[in-house]
Amino acid sequence: MYWDRECETMSREQLRALQLERLKLTIERVYRNVSFYRQRFAEMGIKPSSIRSLEDLRRLPFTTKQDLRDNYPFGLFAVPMSDVVRVHASSGTTGKPTVVGYTQNDINTWAELIARSLVCAGATKFDVVQNAYGYGLFTGGLGLHFGAERLGATVVPVSGGNTQRQLMLMQDFGTTILTCTPSYALYMAEEGQKMGLDFKKLPLKAGIFGAEPWSERMRQQLEEKLDLMALDIYGLSEIMGPGVAMECQAKQGMHIFEDHFIPEIINPETGEVLPPGEEGELVITTITKEAFPLIRYRTRDITRIDPEPCSCGRTHVRIRRITGRSDDMLIIRGVNVFPSQVESVLLEFGETEPHYLLVVDRKANLDYLEIWVEVAEHMFSDTVRKLEDLEQRLRERIESVLGISARVKLVEPNTIPRSEGKAKRVVDRRQI
């Protein structure tokens, strides 16, 4: 079953022809409307007419998250603000978020691709979709929401958190499809078990889980505990949000929707394009976006492309599970966290040493973040109240910068191990 049979199953030949046509239009659009790209292309002697085949894509420069930051907030938009109907944002490394924009057509495309994703999981208009992704600047909530409506399903826009209520609604409304991060789904499962809830008696049939890395082991647990089929969904706000790629019921990787995105895998050290099947950094070019087109965007996500035909009949290539990141970004409860964000808060306060460590752990399927910060010797002679006060102020500021809760622990000098090379800023004890 497909949402858009024609697009999802078109021959590779047709797909490549469509990609080339759309790529050319995108290159023209950014050349005309985004001075950043016009300059970059000029430096490299590239004109829109230089792009004659899909192979020519390799001649184009990469776009990085730094480029987005340098053009904060709207510098890379390719349409006037009067045509932008929505913005979203995800956390940046030092406080300033990465901002993305959508025209009405972009929002429609996104809804279409989420509808496709839901149908990959077997959804129809008879389903009740409990959407426990966060609503707001984060793309998860609203992204899934519009797509579920497009499909005609009944959306329950409950957003994240308040687990007791989630479980109540799940029973009362007869939720059939759950959408949230995999770790939150597992947390719900365990809380439900504690309450004596028998998931086998609920009509839940599929879970669409993403926004953070997870594993086959976790899939087994989720399927067993919640009695549903657990599928992986991938996306990032820079490219669109969730729905860039979605797993089908073959569960052998996520189909990347190639009529809208061109994927490449590169060696993150050298930038060289790797042959199909090799693992490296995923690079994506958008070929239909109007407000915020990106050329060869470096996602930092590590995966590989599987070009083999899929048993579901979709012809779009699959990317395998994201196995890691080529930068130091952590994903904690689905939220992107950079150690440098913590560093900038410490520098801003100037009351501690610059030595810190992020300790991430998972208890009862929920991620916990503890931040150890060294303070000078003399501070330990201060009153406990003074230290507690500092801890509290740091915690509040860090929470507001990161957008998630954290525990701050002030520690004595030389508690945090020093390293001879790159400082070790993170201890990740989570096992996924």
Measured from the CB of residue 299, what is the shortest distance to ligand ADP in angstroms? 5
CA angle centred on 290, ends 66 and 283, rounded to 5° = 45
> Applying CB under 6 A, which of residues 109, 176, 179, 237 lies at the interface with ligand ADP?
237
Binding residues for K ion, total number by CB under 5 A: 1
> Applying CB under 5 A, which of residues 84, 211, 294, 312 lies at the interface with Zn ion?
312
Residues 106-135 that bind Zn ion (CB under 5 A): none
- Residue 241 touches ligand ADP, criterion: CB under 6 A: yes
Residues 32-61 that bind ligand ADP (CB under 6 A): none
- Residue 299 touches ligand ADP, criterion: CB under 6 A: yes
> Applying CB under 6 A, which of residues 68, 132, 188, 211 lies at the interface with ligand ADP?
211
Residues 175-214 that bind K ion (CB under 5 A): 211
Tokens of 375: 């303070």
310 binds, among ligand ADP, Zn ion, K ion, none (CB under 5 to 8 A by kind): Zn ion
Which amino acid belongs to residue 47? K
Residues 291-310 that bind Zn ion (CB under 5 A): 310
Given the complex with ligand ADP, which of 37 and 234 has the nearer CB atom?
234
- Residue 322 touches ligand ADP, criterion: CB under 6 A: yes
Given the complex with ligand ADP, which of 68 and 167 has the nearer CB atom?
68
> Applying CB under 6 A, which of residues 92, 97, 235, 293 lies at the interface with ligand ADP?
235
- Residue 301 touches ligand ADP, criterion: CB under 6 A: yes
261 binds, among K ion, ligand ADP, Zn ion, none (CB under 5 to 8 A by kind): none
- Residue 233 touches K ion, criterion: CB under 5 A: no
Instruction: Name the residue with the smallest CB distance to K ion.
Output: 211
- Residue 247 touches ligand ADP, criterion: CB under 6 A: no
Tokens of 427: 């201890």
Given the complex with Zn ion, which of 248 and 357 has the nearer CB atom?
248
299 binds, among K ion, ligand ADP, Zn ion, none (CB under 5 to 8 A by kind): ligand ADP
Given the complex with K ion, which of 101 and 140 has the nearer CB atom?
140
Given the complex with K ion, which of 177 and 211 has the nearer CB atom?
211
- Residue 248 touches Zn ion, criterion: CB under 5 A: yes
Given the complex with ligand ADP, which of 20 and 246 has the nearer CB atom?
246
Measured from the CB of residue 336, what is the shortest distance to K ion in angstroms? 5
- Residue 232 touches ligand ADP, criterion: CB under 6 A: yes
> Applying CB under 6 A, which of residues 192, 242, 263, 280 lies at the interface with ligand ADP?
242
Contact 297, 82 (CB under 8 A): no
Cis bond upstream, residue 48 (ω within 30)? no
Which pairing describes strands 335-337 and 86-90: parallel, antiparallel, or unpaired? unpaired
- Residue 93 touches ligand ADP, criterion: CB under 6 A: no
Instruction: Write the secondary structure of the chain as one string of H (helix), E (strand) and C (coil).
Output: CCCCHHHHHCCHHHHHHHHHHHHHHHHHHHHHHCHHHHHHHHHCCCCHHHCCCHHHHHHCCCECHHHHHHCCCCCCCCCCHHHCCEEEEECCCCCCCEEEEECHHHHHHHHHHHHHHHHHCCCCCCCEEEECCCCCCCHHHHHHHHHHHHHCCEEECCCCCCHHHHHHHHHHHCCCEEEECHHHHHHHHHHHHHCCCCHHHCCCCEEEEECCCCCHHHHHHHHHHHCCEEEEEEEECCCCEEEEEEECCCCCCEEECCCCEEEEEECCCCCCECCCCCCEEEEEEECCCCCCCCCCEEEEEEECEECCCCCCCCCCCEECCCCEECCCCEEECCEEECHHHHHHHHHHHCCCCCCEEEEEEEECCEEEEEEEEECCHHHHHCCHHHHHHHHHHHHHHHHHHHCCCCEEEEECCCCCCCCCCCCCCEEECCCC
Residues that bind ligand ADP (CB under 6 A): 90, 138-140, 210-213, 232-237, 241-242, 299, 301, 322, 325, 331, 336
Contact residues for Zn ion (CB under 5 A)? 248, 250, 310, 312, 314
